[in-house]
Chain A
Amino acid sequence: LDQHLVEYFRAQMMKDPDMASAVAAIRTLLEFLKRDKGETILGLRESLTWATDCLTGVDSSVAVSSGGELFLRFISLTSLEHQDLSRCKKVMEERGELFLEKISMSRTKVAKLCHTFIKDGAKILTHSYSRVVLRVMEKAAAEKKRFSVYVTESQPDSAGRQMAEALRKLNVPVTVVLDAAVGYVLEKVDLVIVGAEGVVESGGIINKIGTYQMALCSKAHNKPFYVVAESFKFVRLYPLNQQDVPDKFKYKADTLKTVQNLSEEHPMIDYTPPSLITLLFTDLGVLTPSAVSDELIKLYL
């Protein structure tokens, strides 16, 4: 059964490479819900949780687990008092479709909010490959703004080069810099925009390794540090420091399964505390880091 699940998930990812992995995961979960032959609501919930775990086994990013949990909460946040299980399931499916629709629009909403912060003639620094940041820049370019971008190479997977390619297609002047050159280049830039893999309860973010460094440097240079993230990335973690982030998010899923001694592996993500972030752009609005907790309470409770 989990084979089908994983295959479906991979197929979804392949179909639309522009889609966030969390959205693909949620599509998969919806499909799973439709095909589920469970007899009880509790059983349904358990199998959905199990399915989410399966998917995190494929793609261990924070967004997949947070998206799964939010999906589960959203569909059960309705009165499931019907006697007939199939009626309940129908209600849940409808909610699921609604949820999916909402989050497919989330990137557009974020782009609409954020592009106004990119002024004409701005120099932007960004980190690694983020589809949301790309969408923001597309929107800004469509608004006929002229700006140039510095992208960090973002080792170990050189995702930054992918970002640079995509930006070149938009006719945006882009320069790829070394990860080590962030401090050097910061005096030239006006603002820093990064995406996020997960937004935690404190208002901090979890993102590709190197983000924390960039945030520290921009704080030292007094440059605004903006984060763009969709709301399904809000997760109920509260790390106090880098060590506090659970291991299952730090490394790729294959690494977690194969490698014995994790301390020899290099983590793929780091945690940026809220004191270094100026603003977060989400589909719930433009938030300060302290407002994230407020939104989380609304989302999860």
Chain B
Amino acid sequence: MSAEPSVASSSTPATQHKKTTRGGTRHFTEGGPVKKDGIQQAKTEGKELTKEEKQRLRKEKKQQKKSKEKKDEKASQESEKEKKPVSSASPASQPPTQPITPKAPSAVPTLVPVPASETPAPADKPAKSKAEMKAERRARQEAERASKQGKKGEVGQQAAPGKPKAPPSELQPVVKRLPEHVQVDNPEVLKKLAKKLERQQIPLRSDYGYKVSLFSHLHQYSRKAPLTQQLSIPSTVIHPAIVRLGLQYSQGIVAGSNARSVALLHAFKQVIRDYTTPPNEELSRDLPNQFNFLNQCRPLSASMGNAIKYIKKEISNIPSQCKEEEAKSKLLNCIDRYIDEKINLAAKAIAKSSIEKISDGDVILVYGCSSLVNHILCEAFEKNRKFRVIVVDSRPRLEGREALRRLVQRGISCTYVLISAVSYILPEVSKVFLGAHALLANGYVMSRVGTSQIALVAKAFNVPVLVCCETYKFCERVQTDSFVSNELDDPDDLIVTRKGKTQLEHWQEVPSLGLLNLVYDVTPPDFVDLVITDLGMIPCTSVPVVLRVKNVDQ
């Protein structure tokens, strides 16, 4: 299975699109021709381009796209400007773009790769005076406002706050955008997402069923309609290992944050092995497509986000003179080391610290199936600690059964209850061990839904609550409630057949009925007594300290 997505199509899907729609014509910007010639020469001579040249090349491709649509723009400003605000609509989706293109200064914000490539190379652009740029922007905004009155709801809403990716010398306040996965009820965001995915040849997954109004800003997919059915075979952009991974995620075959991260890293090792760098591009250009595909299958978790950041950093750290084989093996080693250090060794360190907290005669309560907590309990049992475990479980996932199976196999005496009985069983409990999906920067613990309930009841009974979490799951996000950002699972999971009757079978036909299958919830730090990490035992409020120390290290 050695599909080479990048080589098969072209350097990037973006360039491919440009070529097909423009029919090979090249539009030169004023400041461009000289540099362009240099790069053309390099290409024809077959030399390896340096990083700056690659960046410039990329930038110019984007400028071409923009300036083509900006031909009717104010001519006076064109000579100065190299960065033009333009509807960055994919040329493929013609009908919606037609009304937009004549409206010259529609400042739909450019996509993520653009500012990344534009901002780090200000040296390439001719120096612009602040006054000129201000005048440009003001004129742009005036025209926007005028055209907005004429056409409603066509232009991106970001026109009003001005260009969010303003030139670096800008004094405008930085506009923070919400991530798109929590703006599902905003049709413009959806449209942009659809265009982006279409350009990357990733099918867009459609929402399913009636969503409870409080959560209408989140996606809700059905497991019966996996994304892979809409994928063309063979997929030219997504590596087969990633397709398989995405399917495993969406069907719930691979579940649990550690398992998902490790599976992701292994799949990427496969991608890297099969990847061949086309002459002018780099691996990091292709990665966003793969991640976007995975995101469509199942939203990425915080731990996966951190792993991806690490991969991207490692890729960008590879010196450009490095030969491909060497670079690949280096990357593979880095990934192996990451898995080893952050997951396996961390689990050992956490188990060592936790064993001190487990004394003989303890009654330990666990919730759901956390690989880390199971590991800790098994280790403690090996070290001959005498304790028993109460496993609390909840519908619809019933993950506690898996934990129960694993613990009983080792010989640990266990009790199994459902979450509704937790206040009944808590007077017997001496400690509560919980796993975490992520630890947020304000000390909140994000974990499987039901965790915060258990922590609350434990606090009411004065039972210490210990959260076990590796440091690679710490994320910079801040969240104080479970509504803002969450994951909605398939609502059909809640349907159950008892005594031959399936009550909720036709829930879609009842207009006022909504089924809610939440996946995560956040627990405030006041309910958590101790967090055990591979760096040691810290109180929940010290998570930002660890994040700070980690950032300093990097």
Contact = CB atoms under 8 A, between A and B. Distances in A.
Given A240-B529, A240-B530, A241-B464, A290 B537 contact: no
A50 interface: no
Interface string A76-90: 000000000000000
B395 interface: no
Given A201-B537, A297-B549, A238 B530 contact: yes
B539 interface: yes
B541 interface: yes
B410 to A, nearest CB: 25
A280 to B, nearest CB: 14
B473 interface: no
The winner among A202, A238, A294 for most chain B CB atoms within 10 A is A238
B380 to A, nearest CB: 16
B542 A297 contact: yes
A202 B539 contact: yes
Contacts of A202: 529-530, 539
Given A202-B530, A290-B542, A293-B542, A238 B537 contact: yes
B313 interface: no
A272 to B, nearest CB: 14
B212 interface: no
B540 to A, nearest CB: 9
Contacts of B146: none
B464 to A, nearest CB: 4
A274 B431 contact: no
A230 B549 CA distance: 25
A217 to B, nearest CB: 17
Contacts of B545: 293-294, 297
A238 B531 CA distance: 11
Interface residues on A, range: 10 to 19
A203 interface: yes
Contacts of A301: 549
Contact of B541 (A241, A243, A293, A297): A293
B72 to A, nearest CB: 59
B470 to A, nearest CB: 17
Interface in B430-463: 431
B153 to A, nearest CB: 48
Interface string A238-270: 101101100000000000000000000000000
A201 B542 CA distance: 10
Contact of A294 (B359, B431, B530, B542): B542
B538 interface: yes
Contacts of B431: 240
B539 A274 contact: yes
B536 to A, nearest CB: 8
A244 B357 CA distance: 8
B542 A240 contact: no
Contacts of B541: 290, 293
Nearest to B526: A275
A105 to B, nearest CB: 27
B459 to A, nearest CB: 10
Given A240-B357, A240-B530, A297-B549, A290 B464 contact: no
Nearest to A203: B539
A276 B502 CA distance: 52
Contacts of B359: 243
B352 to A, nearest CB: 14
Nearest to B353: A238
A293 B529 contact: no
Interface string B56-96: 00000000000000000000000000000000000000000
Interface of A: 201-203, 238, 240-241, 243-244, 274, 290, 293-294, 297, 301
10 contacts: A202-B529, A202-B530, A238-B530, A240-B466, A241-B464, A244-B357, A293-B541, A293-B542, A297-B542, A301-B549
A-B pairs, 3 with minimum CB distance:
A290-B541, A240-B464, A293-B542
Given A293-B545, A297-B542, A301-B549, 14 more contacts: A201-B537, A238-B537, A240-B357, A240-B431, A240-B464, A241-B464, A244-B357, A290-B539, A290-B541, A290-B542, A293-B538, A294-B545, A297-B538, A297-B545
